[in-house]
């Protein structure tokens, strides 16, 4: 017990899973007690939320809408990585491109993404292409500056070592910068791809053709907050699974990080 109350102390592995389960149970109990005390339809009980899953499945095509949103998210962050990673290397590696574009890249972070929906509709229409590009842009504005910074963080000693051995500029990029930067931004990507779930409702409300974000919005408009709570919990579970999958891929691709 003393270790658990020590500042920044380690949790024994055999105890960690038990604490996680206890934390979940505690939150559910607090939720249930609060719902009972409030006794209000605007704060549904855990049981009512779980019960709403049946209606969501059979009447609102929950599974189809969920997989539609997952598809949009996957396509969005694949596009974001394909654009942001090479462009980040280009800007971060060379003084010319860094001087030309670094300040503009930093400024992108202040763009209010929900306000540019109209631009994406004008450019790409109202179908899935628009939604994917909008979600990709939402990730790029955060991921691109991170890639540039990760390139700058590569230690000079590694670059100097391969240069001393006679490596060309391309060999230095391939053997030093690419492995070092990719190993670090793999963790950043795990965090940043969750951003696409933040904007999923905005994207799916355009020409509502499905998606769990649009379903959540419709449920809220109908004052079905039990269904709304259920959808939010589903998104959290999907995000947790997604994060674990990224962790597995990271352990396979960059084994030396986890030694």
Higher pLDDT pick, 71 / 21: 71
Q: Where are the alpha helices (DSSP H) in the chain?
A: 13-38, 46-59, 62-93, 95-108, 117-124, 128-153, 156-164, 169-172, 178-192, 195-198, 200-204, 212-221, 225-253
What is the set of domains in the chain, with CATH numbers?
1-39 (no CATH), 44-258 (1.10.3720.10)
Q: Would the pLDDT of 2 be above 60?
A: no
Indicate the angle between helix axes 128-153 and 95-108, nearest 10 degrees.
Answer: 130
Q: How much is the mean pLDDT over the chain?
A: 85
Q: How confident is the model at residue 230 (pLDDT cuts 50, 70, 90)?
A: very high
Of the given ranges (42-56, 192-206, 212-226, 238-252), which has the lowest mean pLDDT?
192-206
What is the pLDDT averaged over residues 27-40? 87
pTM given for the model = 0.82
Q: Taking a C-beta distance cutoff of 8 angstroms, is the pair 45, 32 a contact?
A: yes
Q: Which of 30-39, 84-93, 235-244 has the highest mean pLDDT?
A: 84-93
Task: State residue 141's pLDDT score.
Answer: 87
What residues contact 197, with CB distance under 8 A and at least 6 apart? 73, 235, 239
What is the pLDDT averaged over residues 195-220? 84
Task: State residue 5's pLDDT score.
Answer: 59
Q: Would the pLDDT of 61 be above 60?
A: yes
Planar angle of CA 197, 198, 203, nearest 5 degrees: 80
């Amino acid at each position: 017990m003393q270790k658990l109350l020590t500042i920044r102390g380690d949790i024994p592995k055999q105890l960690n899973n038990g604490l996680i389960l206890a934390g979940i149970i505690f939150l559910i109990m607090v939720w249930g007690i609060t719902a009972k005390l409030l006794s209000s339809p605007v704060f549904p009980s855990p049981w009512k939320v779980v019960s709403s899953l049946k209606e969501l499945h059979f009447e609102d095509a929950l599974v189809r809408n969920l997989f539609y949103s997952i598809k949009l998210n996957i396509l969005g962050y694949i596009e974001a990585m394909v654009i942001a990673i090479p462009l980040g290397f280009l800007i971060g590696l060379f003084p010319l491109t860094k001087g030309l574009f670094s300040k503009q890249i930093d400024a992108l972070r202040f763009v209010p993404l929900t306000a540019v929906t109209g631009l994406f509709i004008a450019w790409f229409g109202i179908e899935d292409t628009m939604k994917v590009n909008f979600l990709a842009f939402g990730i790029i504005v955060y991921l691109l500056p991170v890639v540039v910074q990760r390139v700058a963080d590569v230690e000079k000693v590694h670059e100097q070592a391969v240069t001393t051995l006679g490596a060309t500029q391309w060999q230095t990029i391939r053997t030093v910068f690419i492995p070092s930067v990719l190993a670090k931004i793999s963790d950043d990507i795990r965090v940043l791809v969750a951003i696409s779930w933040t904007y999923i409702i905005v994207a799916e409300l355009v020409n509502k053709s499905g998606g769990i974000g649009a379903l959540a919005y419709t449920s809220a408009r109908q004052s079905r907050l039990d269904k709304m709570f259920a959808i939010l919990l589903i998104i959290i579970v999907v995000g947790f699974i997604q994060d674990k999958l990224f962790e597995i891929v990271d352990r396979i691709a960059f084994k030396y990080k986890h030694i």
